Amino acid sequence: MPTPSENTPSFARPVVGIAMKVASVVAFTLMATAIKLAGQLPAGQIVFFRSFFAILPICAYLFWTGQLAGAWHTTRPVGHIARGLVGVSAMTLGFYGLTRLPLPDAIAIGYARPLVTVALGALLLGEVVRRYRWGAVFVGLFGVLVISWPKLQLFRGAGDIGTQEALGVAACFASACIAGLATVLVRRLVTTERTPTIVLYFSVTATLFALTTLPFGWSALTATQASALVMSGVFGGLGQILLTESYRHAEVSTIAPFEYTSVVLGIGIGFFVFSEIPGWATVVGSAIVVASGIFIIYRESRLGLARGAARQNVTPQG
């Protein structure tokens, strides 16, 4: 079992940190793939499986690192509940959109989250956002519009498939905005709460909130669907563990750009598993959004505004 010294951040092994970050991206992409394979099920049902079965690898990891007992101690239960409610809302909308859009599109639209987080950080936390980063936010949101526009046009009498894709775009973008708010709530929690506590309480509260959707009707699952949903939870929990560990070995500004490798993974899996071929709007829009996100990371690094590793360890979808 690791000693306490092994549990403290050490930025001396950036290659290890990058490798773990990429591995976490792979895990989260496989989570999204499993959810798409399960099909168009009630979003609350998907959130339940994703959250409940993520608890297993997370608890195993916390036990191995000697953090499980202390992870349950909190001085801000209301803060965790609020974060859980907002996070579950983001997950529900995100999973709804994911099951109705090509995988690369859903991933790319989700990149609006860090852009929205910058804006909300300025508005709600009083963080200093200079004109260059504001410019990057607006350019990135324009990229999201480029990705979304062809599908939003489908609202105009294109039949059920077109309407479903348009609703998927709206759900994914709303999910990204709400997830940005969840990130702001996490930033408030990390001032007094430990990362394992935030991780564990979110998984538990998300599971309980998802259960409240049971009376509204869950679908009977086939063995394939049940297996896919269980794997989505396992991959989600594993991704969260790898993400947490990656920040022990390298600085945020070093690791963060590798988040965008999910675009390549999403295109590859979309093509080979779902026979999805990205259109020009997805390719161009993704390039704009990724460039904007990397520019924001670069500016934060140059200005000394990169946040602590604990503030980056928890993502609403993880």
**Residue range 268-298, pLDDT digits in tens:** 999 999 998 888 888 898 899 888 888 877 7
Confidence (pLDDT) at 306? 47
Rounded to two decimals, the pTM is 0.82
**Dihedral through CA 239, CA 308, CA 189, CA 5, nearest 10?**
70
Least confident segment among 88-102, 164-178, 187-201 = 187-201
pLDDT greater than 80 at residue 71: yes
Task: Decide if 190 is inside a domain.
Answer: yes
Distance of CA 294 to the CA centre of its chain: 17
Task: Decide if 16 is inside a domain.
Answer: no
**Are 313 and 189 contacting, i.e. CB atoms less than 8 angstroms apart?**
no
Task: Compute the average pLDDT of residues 22-44.
Answer: 95
Give me the domain span that covers residue 299: 23-312
CB atoms within 10 A of CB 140: 25
Q: How confident is the model at residue 69 (pLDDT cuts 50, 70, 90)?
A: confident
Task: Decide if 111 is inside a domain.
Answer: yes
Task: Decide if 75 is inside a domain.
Answer: yes
Instruction: Please give the tally of structural domains in the chain.
Output: 1
Confidence (pLDDT) at 292? 87
pLDDT greater than 70 at residue 23: yes
pLDDT greater than 70 at residue 30: yes
Between these two residues, 252 and 200, which has the higher pLDDT value?
A: 200
**How far apart, in whole angstroms, are the C-alpha atoms of residue 154 and residue 314?**
35
Which residue in 310, 295, 317, 302 sits closest to 136, CA to CA?
295
- Composition of the chain by helix, strand, coil, percent to 5: 80, 0, 20
pLDDT greater than 70 at residue 20: yes
pLDDT greater than 70 at residue 64: yes
Task: Decide if 48 is inside a domain.
Answer: yes
Q: How confident is the model at residue 183 (pLDDT cuts 50, 70, 90)?
A: confident
**Residue range 223-239, pLDDT digits in tens:** 999 999 999 999 999 99
Task: Decide if 4 is inside a domain.
Answer: no
CB atoms within 10 A of CB 53: 20
Confidence (pLDDT) at 162? 66
Task: Decide if 132 is inside a domain.
Answer: yes
Task: Decide if 1 is inside a domain.
Answer: no
Retrieve residue 282's tokens.
Answer: 């997805």
In angstroms, the Cα distances linking 60 to 7, 209, 237 are 15, 23, 10
**Residue range 140-164, pLDDT digits in tens:** 889 888 888 877 665 555 556 668 8
Retrieve residue 64's tokens.
Answer: 């191995």
pLDDT greater than 80 at residue 305: no
State the DSSP code for 306.
P
Q: Which of 20-24, 148-152, 312-316 has the highest mean pLDDT?
A: 20-24
pLDDT greater than 60 at residue 1: no
**How far apart, in whole angstroms, are the C-alpha atoms of residue 50 and residue 113?**
20
